[in-house]
Amino acid sequence: MTDTDPTYLIFGQLRREFLITPNRKVITDQPGGCLLYAAEGANLWLKDEQQVGLVARVGEDYPRAWLDDFARRGYLTDGIKVLPSEIDLRYFRAYTDLRTYHHDDPVGHFAKLGLTMPKTLLGYRPPAMPKSIKDLTPTSLRQSDIPKSFLHARGAHVCNMDFLSHTLIPAALRQAGVQFVSLDPGPYMHKENWEEIKSMVIGLTAFLPSEEELKQLFLAKPGSLREMVEEVGSWGVQVVVVKRAWQGQIVYDANTRRAYEVPAYPSKMVDPTGAGDVFAGGFLAGLALTGSPIQAALYGNVAASFAVEGSGVFYTQDALPGLQQARLESLQDSIREI
């Protein structure tokens, strides 16, 4: 690794976010997307001179000033490929409470607040899923999208994306010798794709589905969460982490066949947008720093605890120095084996 090589890589999507937060704050056309949220989670635990490399695809209409800002914040942006066409990366989310949100009808949601919908949201449609899990999308990642210098990274996380990106990217990282590779599954988590998902997770260090995604996959084979994580652990992935929002996580270590319940840090939640991605980035950094999946979950929880206390993808950068270590220590005695 050279002085300019990233320590961690994050693969994912960039978005132009339009949010109505749970406390009715309106955020209009700000940088977001799983890529940045996960990167912020890892960034919280960087040591001196360490950096995070970003890999994504955007259209020529994506604000160049934002890309410049990411670099000023210390991110390596050589892996962000600007395509010679426009790509609609708008993303709308309106909360009705802390646990409920909607992606559609922005006109109606702004009207409820007595506001006119921003012109930049005209013609908005929620992002559509590929018709087939084997379809490429404009933002699907290819092995050729990874700068060669990025392949010296110690760890990588692949965010919620399409199935082909999730098949191609981890394979390329393993071939390059990247030590830790984690993955957050996409909208293909259905029982019809059982065999494809079994093949996809082989060789991953950590697989991070939400509880809802895991239950959707196991719809034809209902059982307890413990039985589900044991099954996934038998497919060739070292660690299965079930994300349960404010309930924390279930962490299953396939090497020891032991499972643990890890609680979320008791933050005062303001805006949960991106919390799962921030957790994943913190988890990756924690795994690289400690080698322990249980400790890694605590690192992820602490990172997410900062993210939910405010709004905006870079909110975690306002955390007071040393506070993350204090929160980490406060969670140590709350882990429970199940």
- Average per-residue pLDDT for the chain: 95
> Which of 139 and 128 is assigned the larger pLDDT?
139
Element (H, E) at 82: strand 76-82
Query: 156 exposed, middle or buried (CB, 10 Å; 0-12, 13-18, 19+)?
Result: buried
Q: In what order do the strands lie in the sheet with 336-337?
A: 76-82, 52-58, 8-11, 155-158, 180-183, 206-207, 239-243, 249-253, 258-262, 336-337
* Contacts with 30 (C-beta within 8 Å, 6 or more apart), sequence order: 16, 17, 19, 312, 313
Which range, of 123-137, 149-163, 214-228, 230-244, averages the lowest pLDDT?
123-137
CB–CB of 283/296 below 8 Å?
A: yes
Q: What is the pLDDT of residues 88-134, one digit of tens each?
A: 999 999 999 999 999 999 999 999 999 999 999 999 999 877 778 98
Q: What is the pLDDT of residues 7-57, one digit of tens each?
A: 999 999 999 999 999 999 999 999 999 999 999 999 999 998 999 999 999
Domain boundaries, the chain: 8-14+42-85+131-337
Average pLDDT, integer, range 263-292: 96
Q: What is the pLDDT of residues 179-191, one digit of tens each?
A: 999 999 999 999 9
> Which of 130 and 59 is assigned the larger pLDDT?
59
- As a three-state string, the secondary structure of 113-142 is CCCCCCHHHCCCCCCCCCCCCCCCCCCCCC
Dihedrals phi, psi of 243, to nearest 5 degrees: -85, 125
- Report the pLDDT value the prediction gives residue 295, as an integer from 0 to 100: 97
Helices (H), 13-158: 34-43, 64-72, 106-112
Q: Tell me what percent of the chain is helix, strand and coil, each rounded to the nearest 5.
A: 40, 20, 40
Quickly name the fold that domain 8-14+42-85+131-337 has. UDP-N-acetylmuramoyl-L-alanine:D-glutamate ligase (3.40.1190)
Alpha-carbon distances of 73 from 45, 68, 146, 305, rounded to whole Å? 15, 9, 21, 21
DSSP type of residue 42: H
SS3 category, 15: strand
Average pLDDT, integer, range 291-310: 97
Dihedrals phi, psi of 104, to nearest 5 degrees: -110, 175
Whether residue 1 is predicted with pLDDT greater than 80 in this model: the reply is no
Whether residue 195 is predicted with pLDDT greater than 50 in this model: the reply is yes
Is the pTM above the cut of 0.85?
Answer: yes
- Report the pLDDT value the prediction gives residue 2, as an integer from 0 to 100: 45
The fraction of the chain above a pLDDT of 70, given in percent, is 99
Token pair for 106: 């922005």
Contacts of the segment 1-5: beta carbons below 8 A, 24+ positions apart: 1/152, 1/153, 1/154, 2/149, 2/152, 3/49, 4/51, 4/76, 4/149, 5/149, 5/150, 5/152, 5/153
- Report the pLDDT value the prediction gives residue 78, as an integer from 0 to 100: 97
Phi-psi region of 203 (alpha: psi -120 to 50; beta: other; left: phi over 0): left
